[in-house]
């Protein structure tokens, strides 16, 4: 993969962060505790996959993708 493609993928993954945070906050409003836990787990799983399986490998291959003000995805 070339760096330009990596940048597009990385930027897309970064753009998901505020959307997933907002989704998690909305899920917290669910009154049914079991459903809320199920949805929180699902949102957390999505966040984990994006960061562990997409961003982290890209950062290893292209360290200059990491924004200067942030550290690498963990």
pLDDT digits (tens, 9 = 90+) for 1-50: 999 999 999 999 999 999 999 999 999 999 999 999 999 999 999 999 99
Distances (CA, A) of 57 to 9, 62, 63, 69: 11, 8, 10, 19
CA dist., res. 65 & res. 3, Å (int): 9
Note the pTM of the prediction, 2 decimals: 0.81
Q: Where along the chain do its domains lie?
A: 3-63
CA dist., res. 58 & res. 52, Å (int): 10
CB 13 within 8 A of CB 73: no
């Amino acid at each position: 993969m070339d760096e330009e493609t990596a940048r597009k993928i990385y930027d897309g993954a970064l753009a998901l962060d505020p959307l997933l945070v907002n989704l998690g906050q909305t899920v917290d409003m669910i009154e049914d505790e079991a459903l809320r836990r199920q949805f929180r787990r699902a949102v957390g799983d999505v966040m984990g996959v994006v960061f562990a399986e997409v961003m982290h490998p890209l950062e290893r291959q292209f360290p200059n993708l990491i924004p200067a003000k942030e550290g690498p995805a963990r």
